A and B are shown apart, each in its own frame.
Chain A
Amino acid sequence: MLTFVIRRMIATVFVVFTITVLVFLIFFHTPGVDPARKLAGRNPSPDTIKAIKHQYGLDRPLPVQYLILMKKLFISRDLTSYSNQGQKVVPEIVAATPVTLSLVLGAAVIWVVVSILMGVAAAVLRGTIFDPMLMVLALIGISMPVFWLGEMANLITQDRYHDTFLFSWVPPLGYTPLTQDPVMWFKHLVIPWLVLSVLYIGLYARVLRADLLETENEDYVRTARAKGLSERRVLLRHTLRTSMISFVSLFGLDFGVLVGGGALLVEVVFALPGVGLLTYQSLISLDLPVIMATVIYGAIFIVIANAVVDVGYAWLDPRVRPA
């Protein structure tokens, strides 16, 4: 187990390194693209471009540029935005992280609970009309663009039905930190939580149903039935338990992707000042250091989440360790 963990950690460091190099190359050395021109504004003179290149160290050799950038990002943490020289990128990301975490954690609770209920219900009700109905619902959830769903939720809760008793409690778009006012925090996040969880409810319910039906054919399930266990006990203690393995590993990956930037669209629609909104705002102003930093932050978070999932998986299921 220890060798597995160590090997996995070495692989993680390698992937993180490759990703930072890749991001650096994409942003600063895509063929035919010159970041200095981007900074210089319209129709810059060659001298201006040269000066800017020097100012940002873009005239240094590639590996040196990379190292300077990584130093600014991880060690001195004083990488500054291109569009606003006073804006330090790393503290901005640190400040935005709790917002993203609040959003993703809340949505995760909803999607885990609802999708387990839906998946189990569909598997148990197989052969009735409810199974295909639930699965069509799940498919619709998967097929909706999340930003559009968010807009529709805003249309209903902020405008059309805001004055009815149903949605009069919904505050205007925005965010209140948990530490400042927990009730307001909750009110701000309920609708974004629901919108974000729809896609994952659909995905997970389908996966869980398929796994449940597959496990249903296993010998040990037949044995459990033959022992005379009640259907409920067979389902909860034997079938569901095994089916949860892929569910849990899927959850780890999706959670990582969402915190690492996947929640961007929901943050934009609901004006939640998380890491995703930060990325979006710097997209609009083409603020390369900020976008690059958020991308690297997200990628690192995801890679670490993947490693944690793998180690957890190996801990649960010794068969995968030597892989």
Chain B
Amino acid sequence: MSTVGGLEHPIDPLADAPPEGWVAGRSPWALAAHKLVRNRMAMAALAVFLGIVVVSFMGPFYADHIAHTDPFTSQLTATTVINGKRVDVLQQGGGVLKLGETPIGPTWQRNYFLGADSQGRDVAARVLYGGRTSLTIGIGSAVICSLLAVIVGMVAGFYGGVTDSIISRGLDVVWAFPVYLLAISIATVLLTQGLTIGPFSISASSLWLPTLIIAVIYVPYVARPVRGAVLSVREKEFIEAAIAQGASNRRLIFNEILPNVITVLIVLLPLMIATTILTESALSYLSIGVQPPNASWGTIINDGQQLLYTRPWVAIAPGIMIVLTVLSLNVFGDGVRDALDPRAKLRVKD
């Protein structure tokens, strides 16, 4: 970007060549990017996160070509080969009565690497598929939430007055609502019958439902800082200059204010994805998030709860994936904030 503070540098028409000792100016974006790239912790975290994304989206490949299994249908009578012997995936329970069935534990081979769940499905393949779902919902809802929040925060901050008061009071009320309770309320109601607004209808088992619910509940948390940034940018002199030039509202919003507010979003986005992934897993764990036949890390942890003492890997594996994903996003997000947020410069003095 060649603009600083939204205005282009005035160019001196008499200067043909840069004067001696002239140092090429670097935009704040380039400086921030440079700072971020040099932050080794943040880069390592980004690598871990991208690794998890790639591996998760390889789920179908793993299921088809490595584990040779379908992770979404019950495999109650499936068998697998261990040490050259063919064994049932669901083994008869022990004891005199041989009651109940225990799924096979981790084989640490291509097939049933992490064992099977109570329906004989390959846990490793499910964790990968689940990761795809969790990441899609996490990233999707964070992006949708940011878009909504920019619109809301921008309108409130730019137009001010009554519009601002109404929007801000509304955000206050949603803010006063505990996040999980709001999500639970909306999810319980929508999960039985889906959502129908006019011509649009979303079925109850659609992934759009948890994505939209999570996106909506976090809007106030992003809209507030956006509104604050708009309010402070609006008072700057370059806005006054643009108004003096006869800039339309549209130009003011999109060309002058938006580029200066976007840093707020960039700083928040990685941390928001971390939060939305955690929220999705909690809702799915409570069985009001992702619905079967889809799986997410949260639903797999829920499946694993019944098998916790006999086959703990069903619950351990998706949990580790969540911790790694969220941790890498948090570390990366900290790096982005340090690189972009001027206030952080005051703070980090070590």
Residue B188 at the chain A interface, CB threshold 8 Å: yes
Residue A257 at the chain B interface, CB threshold 8 Å: yes
B188 in contact with A286 (CB, 8 Å):
yes
A residues 103-141 with Cβ under 8 Å of B? 126-127, 131, 139-140
Residue B67 at the chain A interface, CB threshold 8 Å: no
Residue A210 at the chain B interface, CB threshold 8 Å: yes
A33 in contact with B190 (CB, 8 Å):
yes
Residue B197 at the chain A interface, CB threshold 8 Å: yes
A210 — nearest CB in chain B belongs to which residue?
B347
B193 in contact with A151 (CB, 8 Å):
no
As a 0/1 sequence over residues 325 to 345 of chain B, the CB contacts with chain A under 8 angstroms (1 = contact) are 011001100100000000000
Residue B148 at the chain A interface, CB threshold 8 Å: no
A299 in contact with B189 (CB, 8 Å):
no
Q: How many residues of B contact A (CB 8 A)?
A: 50
Residue A189 at the chain B interface, CB threshold 8 Å: no
Residue B88 at the chain A interface, CB threshold 8 Å: no
Residue A26 at the chain B interface, CB threshold 8 Å: yes
Select B177's contact among A31, A140, A214, A299, beta carbons within 8 Å.
A299
Residue A69 at the chain B interface, CB threshold 8 Å: no
Most B CB contacts (10 A, CB to CB) among A32, A155, A286, A291 go to: A32
B319 in contact with A27 (CB, 8 Å):
no
B residues 174-190 with Cβ under 8 Å of A? 176-178, 180-181, 184-186, 188-190
Q: Which residues of B does A touch, CB under 8 Å?
A: 172-173, 176-178, 180-181, 184-186, 188-190, 192-197, 201, 274, 278, 281-282, 285-288, 298, 301, 304-305, 308-309, 312, 315-316, 318-319, 322-323, 326-327, 330-331, 334, 346-347, 349-350
Q: Which residues of A does B touch, CB under 8 Å?
A: 15, 18-19, 22-23, 26-27, 30-34, 37-38, 126-127, 131, 139-140, 142-148, 151-152, 154-155, 158-160, 210, 213-214, 216-217, 257, 260-262, 264-265, 268, 279-280, 283-284, 286, 288, 291-292, 295, 298-299, 302-303, 306
List 9 additional A-B contacts (Cβ < 8 Å) besides A30-B195, A143-B322.
A19-B177, A32-B197, A34-B193, A140-B327, A142-B330, A143-B326, A143-B327, A261-B178, A283-B286
Return the 8 tightest CB-CB contacts between A and B, nearest first: A32-B196, A148-B319, A143-B327, A143-B326, A159-B309, A18-B173, A261-B181, A295-B181
